[in-house]
A = this chain, B = another copy of it.
Amino acid sequence: MTTQTGHTEAIAASRVIGTTVYNTQGDSIGSIEDVMLDKTSNGIMFAVIGFGGFLGIGEKYHAIPWASLDYDEARGGYVIPFSKEQLKAAPAHSINELAGADGESARDESYEYYKVAPYWH
């Protein structure tokens, strides 16, 4: 998600929410449920991808580093550079485990699992 020019672009959180997410095999794995923001810094903590469950009951969520989302114009959704197998074994959480103080440990676990460099160091 970097540009050659050094310029940046803004995207509204409300537009990100609801966008479909695909894995590297091209399978739709869910959609962006929310974006978690850091209360104490200027950082985007992670995107929340919802998958499984039925009508919100028993639904589980993955915390995905913002930098791992790559928008694919052709598909009209985000592609994340992780395979089906990686995502199957990834940390999964209830929505409550991703907000407030618990969000920090979910974030740390996510960046470690997906081997994404922490933005907060």
Determine whether the beta carbon of B40 is less than 8 Å from that of A1.
yes
Q: Interface stretch among A22-30, A83-91, A99-107?
A: A99-107
Determine whether the beta carbon of A99 is less than 8 Å from that of B43.
no
Whether A13 touches B39, Cβ cut-off 8 Å, given contacts A101-B7, A104-B7, A104-B8, is no
- Give the contacts of A93-118 with B (CB-CB under 8 A): 98-104, 106-107
- Give the contacts of A1-37 with B (CB-CB under 8 A): 1-3, 7-14, 16-17, 34-37
When chains A and B are docked, how far (Å) is the Cα of A45 from the Cα of B13? 11
User: Interface size class for chain A?
Assistant: 35 or more
Determine whether the beta carbon of B39 is less than 8 Å from that of A12.
no
A and B contact pairs by CB, cutoff 8 A, 21 listed: A7-B104, A8-B39, A8-B103, A8-B104, A9-B40, A9-B104, A10-B36, A10-B37, A10-B39, A10-B98, A10-B103, A10-B107, A11-B39, A11-B100, A12-B37, A12-B98, A12-B99, A13-B34, A13-B36, A35-B35, A37-B66
